[in-house]
Structures are given as structure tokens and as C-alpha cells.
Amino acid sequence: MFPKKQKQAAGADAGPSGSCKRGRQDAQAAPGAESLAEVVEQARRRAAPSVREFKFNKKRVRLLSQESCLQDGALGILYWMSRDQRVQDNWAFLYAQRLALKQQLPLHVCFCLVPKFLEATIRHFGFLLKGLREVAEECGELGIPFHLLQGYAKDVLPGFVTRHGIGGVVTDFSPLRVPLQWVEDVKERLPQDVPLVQVDAHNIVPCWVASSKQEYGARTIRPKIHAQLPEFLTEFPPVVQHPFPAAAPAQPIDWDACYASLEVDRTVSEVKWAAPGTAAGLAVLQAFVTRRLPGYSEYRNNPNKAALSNLSPWFHFGQVSVQRAVLEVRKSRDRHRESVDSFVEEAVIRRELADNFCFYNKSYDQLEGAHDWARDTLRLHARDKREYLYDLQQLEEGKTHDQLWNAAQIQMVREGKMHGFLRMYWAKKILEWTRSPEDALRFAIYLNDRFELDGRDPNGYVGCMWSICGIHDQGWAERNVFGKIRYMNYAGCKRKFNVGQFEHKYRP
């Protein structure tokens, strides 16, 4: 039923500052112990033999086209993969296979590779392409052709649909404006009789189900999500060997040529500690659950400790399902209740709150997206004298007077992942040291999207907006430059962790 042999990736769990050798050790299961990949494969099979026999929750799906019925004579179903770049544990892929199985049709998967995307560099595209290569292999093993279409979806997808006689298209969901526009453009250009549906394969509670409006903060979305977790936080059935073969195989993919064709900045190098792909991501999850989770609640705000999951790159590219991570982490709740609960708070509540904000607030990355109180206070203090002023280049090069800030910047530039606690300090100092809140937000988002492997994500826009524009936060005592926006300082960091140790590790 599910014959794929699982790959364990070397170096998968070195962590941003670990060595590859250590990573290899972390990624290996103890002798005799099952790997997480094997455990989850069995769990899927226990859920159902295939998605056809599984009770699929249709609230995960929304119809985007006028047409809702498959036409007679269709020759296949297409999953247009975009945000969720994995085969298993993917509700969009599963829904597409369900449709294909029910109609006894071949199933195709495609990904539209654009030559550039926002501030993404070769660091990001390298991770993406290597992950997709694994997806293509896995699809091949399951008898599902994987097509890498080069160009914008609006230009390449409608023609593909017509050529292959595709009867229905399923895609996944991102709340960000560029991918939302891609979907709009495709909707307009698809043949009228081809239904297009979208499945939220990224969030546990689908974004449009969790809430129908922009939530004020974690305290308002938390009860809504927790109330719906029993319904949505369920085991996945497997994507199985597809029994209805396509008339022709997919075109072979020249991955090296794709890599060479990208029009992206190649000066931001790929990172060694994070091996791309689902197999590597699951190994990181396994190492987190067995080694770091016990200390998560106590040490997650200490940048000198290895306590975080480090999963954000794999979550961002959809190579690992957050739902899978939460299902695995929750198994330790009897022993590590506080850590499990804090991980759920971050990975589910805070992360889904970020998707909620970007989905319902069209100005999610601009000052206009902030609440009135925050905009007013920032404007009132826009002309306050700044003790230090830096331009974008000085910030990018980590050349400020603050060694902790410079160290955090260096960690991000070198490793593609700044520690979560420092991201808040880092963005707030940009507000303090630039000419205007608008500049601060622009610089923070630019640097975040350019260097963080998990950048260009709702979490990133919300992280910057929280730090600089007070979204999902409240007003605090008024002070220079910040107004009522929450302030953070060096002395506060010194009280939390050994600042000198971190500065020493990431010195220029």
C-alpha cells in the first residue's frame, strides 16, 4: 500500500550552530529503535487503507471556481502544489487523490517554478528545489507523475490543464498576497468547466474555519482554535500507490538546469546545518522530541541553549506538516506537560494567528495594517531624537554599537536562522535606530526575508509587525521613539541569558 522506503538525511539536526557530524548522529535512530518515519507510516495505515475509505473533513476545502462538478470525459485530476511541498501528511494532496480514486482517474502533481520571488535568494531556492526533488521521487514511486512547470502559474498551468484533459484542480493555501494573486489569475484563465478548489494544508484548523475575521490577539483566537482541535487534529491517511496510471509519464526534470536558470541573488549562500526535504525534516522532529523537548519551556528564550525545535524552515516550505509535529510532540504530554503546552502555543496558536492576520488584513506588512493606537503613537514619536541612526547597509553588515544586536544579525546571515528570542530584540532595535517606523518596518522585513531560511512567511510579517507596530500586543508606558510600543533593552537580555557568551560565539 505504501512502499516508499524512507530516507534519513545526514546533517538534518545539527541545529543552526551545530556541526554536520553531530547532525548525523542526531539524525540516526538508536539501534533497534524505529525511526519516526516508520512510526508515522504505520500510524497512517492504521487511520485508513487510503483516503478513499477515510472520512475527509470537507471544511478543509473551499470551492474557488463557479463550476463545482467534474465533467464527463476528464482524463485526470491535478494537484497544483505550492505552499505545502510534501507528499504525505498533506490534506491538499490527499483530497486530490480522493477525487482521482473516486472518479477512477490518473492523478498528476505540478509545481510552478518562478525565476524569482520577493527577497528570496539561492539559500531559499536551493532548499526548495532539493525538497521538490524528493517530492518528485516519492511521486514517481507512487505512480503519480510530478511535473515541474517553469514560469508563472497563470502562463503555464491553464495550458497544462487543457493538454492533459484535467477535469479538476486542487491547490493548497497561503494567505500572502502574491500566492493569493497566483490563484486568482489561474482561476480566471482556467477553462470554465474545470472546477478549482483550495485546501488549507498548512494550518491544523483551516484559516477560514478558525475565525471569519481578523483576531485581536492570541487571547481571542486561542479559545476558538482549542475548541476545534478535537475535530481537526487527527491522524492522516496515507497517499497510496495510485492505481490509475497517466497516459504518458511526466517530462524528465533537469534539476541542474532549473537551478542554473534561477534569477536570484547567489551571494547569500545555502546553509549546511539544514538538510532540505521531508525525510530530513522528520529526523529533526524526532531529535527535537527525544532530546530538546524536555527543556523547551524552561530554555526556549535562552539563545545559548539548544531547546528550540528548529523546524521553522521545514514548516515554512511545507516539507514537514505542523499537524504531524504536533501529533508527535503531544505523545510526550504525560512526561513534559509544560513543554508540550508551550510548543502547541507557538506552533499552533501563534502560527495560526499569523495566518489569520495576513489573510484578513491586506496591509499585513505596512504601518497601515496596525491598530489606530499604535499608528498614532508611532506618528507622535516619529520626530523624536534617535540616539543612534543606522542605514540599511550598516544594519545588514552588523555594524552597530550593540554587540548583541550585531551577533544576532551575524547568526542570521551565516546560519539562516536567528534565535526566536533575539528576533524580537533585533526588530525593536531597528525601530529605535532608524529615521521612521516606516523605514524600520521596511528594513526589518527586507533583512528577514533575505537571510532567514524561514522568511517570507506570515510569521515573519507578523513578527516584524508585533515588534515595530504593536499588533497582537497592548500599549505600554510611553517613551521616546517607541511611544506606547513595547520596549526591550540590553539590560533585560542580560537578566535572561549570558549575553557575553552569545556575543563571543557570533563575533564578526
Which residues are at the interface with ligand FAD (CB under 6 A)?
A: 300, 308-312, 315-316, 346-347, 350-351, 354, 420, 423-424, 427, 448, 452, 454-455, 457, 459-460, 463-464, 467
Choose among 177, 189, 4, 5: nearest CA to 80. 189
Distance CA 350, CA 460 (A): 12
How many degrees, rounded to 5, is the angle at CA 200 between CA 362 and CA 232?
A: 125
Distance CA 56, CA 236 (A): 10
52/330 with CB nearer ligand FAD? 330
Residue 229 CB, shortest distance to ligand FAD, in Å, is 15
By CB atoms closer than 10 A (0-12, 13-18, 19+), residue 44 is: buried
65/406 with CB nearer ligand FAD? 406
Residue 281 CB, shortest distance to ligand FAD, in Å, is 11
204/354 with CB nearer ligand FAD? 354
Distance CA 339, CA 300 (A): 9
Centre a 10 Å sphere on the Cβ of residue 216 and count the other Cβ atoms it contains. Answer: 13
Distance CA 244, CA 75 (A): 10
279/430 with CB nearer ligand FAD? 430
Contact residues for 342 (Cβ-Cβ < 8 A; gap 6+)? 296, 297, 300
Give one DSSP letter per residue of 130-151, joined into a string: HHHHHHHHHHHHTT--EEEEES
97/121 with CB nearer ligand FAD? 121
Residue 272 CB, shortest distance to ligand FAD, in Å, is 17
239/481 with CB nearer ligand FAD? 481
Distance CA 412, CA 423 (A): 9
215/452 with CB nearer ligand FAD? 452
Q: How far is CA 498 from CA 208, 302, 502, 507, in A?
A: 42, 8, 7, 15
Residue 325 CB, shortest distance to ligand FAD, in Å, is 8
Do 204 and 232 touch, CB atoms closer than 8 A? yes
Backbone angles phi, psi at 171, to 5 degrees: -130, 170
52/305 with CB nearer ligand FAD? 305
Residue 90 CB, shortest distance to ligand FAD, in Å, is 17
Amino acid at 498: N
Residue 440 CB, shortest distance to ligand FAD, in Å, is 11
Element (H, E) at 177: helix 177-189
Residue 21 CB, shortest distance to ligand FAD, in Å, is 21
Residue 428 CB, shortest distance to ligand FAD, in Å, is 8
